[in-house]
Amino acid sequence: MKKSELKKYIRENIISTLSEDTEAEIEKTKELTSAIKDLETAKKEAGIEEGEDTEPSKSDIKKTKGLAKAKEELALLTREMKSLAKKYSKAEGADKEKLVKILKDKTKLKKELESILDNKKI
């Protein structure tokens, strides 16, 4: 077999193989497309919506912002209380009593923030 005949034979085999695969892939794609359309119509009939397509509502965004703010305030309050506790351990007399009162007030606020976070968790 000549080199040119061999090249021609190989080329024809490659083209035929690729065209067979392409036709099979096109057929599979058509089947998948029709299956997807069937699925979409079935979802519409059943009243099912995809969660990925929906955006969060304004109330969901507000709730998330409120949670984030409450968490931030709680973290800040906790840090303040820790620094006050260190001062309390070093303080004496009237200063110690003032710090106790401040810490009690902050503890009430901390418990309120924690209850808000517990109630609003998603």
pLDDT tens digits along 9-53? 988 888 877 766 677 777 888 888 888 888 888 877 777 765 565
| CB atoms near residue 113 (< 10 Å) | 20
C-alpha Rg value of the chain to the nearest Å: 35
The Cα 122–Cα 119 span in angstroms is: 9
Domain ranges of the chain: 1-47, 58-120
Q: What percent of the chain stands above pLDDT 70?
A: 84
Band of pLDDT at residue 78, cut at 50, 70 and 90: very high
Stated pTM of the model = 0.48
Give the model's pLDDT for residue 73.
87
Q: Cα torsion at 61, 64, 65, 66 (round to 10°)? A: 120
The one-character DSSP state at 78 is: H
- Which tokens is 10 given? 């190989």
